[in-house]
Amino acid sequence: MSKQPRIVVNNLRKYFPIKLGFFKSLLTSQVPRVRAVDGISFMVGEREVFGLVGESGCGKTTTGRCVLRLIEPTAGKITFKEADMMKLTEHQLRSMRRRMQIIFQDPYESLNPRMSIYDILAEPLNLQNVAKSPEKTREIISSALEEMDLVPPEEFLYRFPHELSGGQRQRVAIARAFVLRPEFIVADEPVSMLDASIRTEVMKLMLHMVEKTNCSFLYITHDIALTRYMCDRIAVMYLGKIVETGPTELVIGRRFHPYTEALISAVPVPDPTSRRTKVVIKGEVASAVNPPEGCRFNPRCVYAQDKCRKEEPQLVEVEKDHYVACFFPLAQ
């Protein structure tokens, strides 16, 4: 990668303890833990869109929140440019927030219904003491709305979220994330609640803003087909681990890991003439409390062998920039 790394995540882990009842806790010596994220490493470069793809429960959202320290990671190292995120005090973290933002999935819940669009966008500016005067605040907010194609901005400034459609709300949420001109944004399924006809528009706006503000983007999604349009590189997650990572077209086009293969084959294609024969894998995702020994995908993998049940595969470079964690990667 020629790009300068902006955020580097190293061996990140997040375990959630399970609360037990009083009697059960007397009987068990060790508290069971859900291993939501179990040792993952990646980096996002300057002006790069990096996608985290996986099914629900694979730990992609937890990863996104840990990276911003919205929840405390159990272990691991996160470096944001020069700063070690794990060592920051709460006070230092607060000023750091100016440089990193998040876009949530549901614009119906992420915008306060009792605040006008103006107040929603002014809040980050006031918290970080960016705008020195009310005129300046208004100017910044107007241009932020214009960037999101919410024109004319005066028409939106004093409206409330319930007066906007889903697409317009998500644009406000994106405007809020970009208003401080952050260097890094985590976008957690930002378009999954939107209808197809407005989804493309919102994706284009986000990509345009990434270009314009030179921002780095961690794009979390379950929709691997969309990553072709959004992401430069992606990582496929399964049960808290990255199983395959590399440039988007390489991962989708060549897919070496059996899970990636199954995931891609399950995605419906908008073309009735190409009804493919599908490799539909059986069973369900194993529990993250007691993940399977060896490779975590082995109970569902059609190619699994003895080695897969005993040893855990590490990410290995199979071609330039393309890494796969599998003992028997599919040769295509």
Contact with other proteins (CB under 8 A): which of 122, 237, 252, 295? 252
The interface region with other proteins, picked from 64-72, 124-132, 139-147, 278-286 by CB under 8 A, is 278-286
Does residue number 7 form part of the binding site for other proteins (CB under 8 A)? no
Number of residues that bind other proteins (CB under 8 A): 44
User: Which residue matches tokens 């470096």?
Assistant: 79
Bridge-based pairing of strands 184-188 and 216-221 is parallel
User: Which residue matches tokens 């004093």?
Assistant: 158
Total residues belonging to the chain: 332
Question: Minimum CB separation from other proteins for residue 250, in Å?
Answer: 13
* Cα(121)–Cα(144) distance, integer angstroms: 9
CA 319 to chain centre: 25
Question: Minimum CB separation from other proteins for residue 211, in Å?
Answer: 17
Eight-class DSSP state of 286: P
Question: Minimum CB separation from other proteins for residue 195, in Å?
Answer: 4
* Cα(296)–Cα(301) distance, integer angstroms: 9
Does residue number 286 form part of the binding site for other proteins (CB under 8 A)? no
The interface region with other proteins, picked from 101-109, 121-129, 134-142, 162-170 by CB under 8 A, is 162-170
Does residue number 195 form part of the binding site for other proteins (CB under 8 A)? yes
The interface region with other proteins, picked from 106-114, 210-218, 260-268, 304-312 by CB under 8 A, is 260-268
Closest CA to 57 of 36, 33, 75: 36
Tokens for 296? 């975590």
The interface region with other proteins, picked from 129-137, 160-168, 169-177, 183-191 by CB under 8 A, is 160-168
Does residue number 199 form part of the binding site for other proteins (CB under 8 A)? yes
Tokens for 24? 């059960």
The interface region with other proteins, picked from 131-139, 154-162, 182-190, 256-264 by CB under 8 A, is 256-264
* Cα(5)–Cα(44) distance, integer angstroms: 6
Nearer to other proteins, 97 or 228 (CB): 228
Contact with other proteins (CB under 8 A): which of 114, 132, 275, 320? 275
At 225, is the secondary structure helix, strand, or coil? helix
Contact with other proteins (CB under 8 A): which of 165, 290, 305, 314? 165
Question: Minimum CB separation from other proteins for residue 82, in Å?
Answer: 36
Does residue number 281 form part of the binding site for other proteins (CB under 8 A)? yes
Eight-class DSSP state of 74: S
Q: Which residues contact 240 (CB under 8 A, 6 or more apart)?
A: 35, 36, 37, 38, 39, 40, 58, 59, 288, 291, 296
**Whether 195 contacts 152, CB under 8 Å:** no
Biggest distance spanned by C-alpha atoms of the chain: 68
Contact with other proteins (CB under 8 A): which of 10, 222, 247, 330? 222
Nearest-10 Cα torsion for 216, 49, 71, 23: -170
Nearer to other proteins, 186 or 224 (CB): 224
Contact with other proteins (CB under 8 A): which of 30, 196, 306, 320? 196
Nearer to other proteins, 30 or 273 (CB): 273
The residues that touch other proteins, with contacts defined as CB under 8 A, are 55-56, 165-168, 195-201, 203-204, 222-226, 228-229, 249, 252, 262-276, 278, 280-282, 284
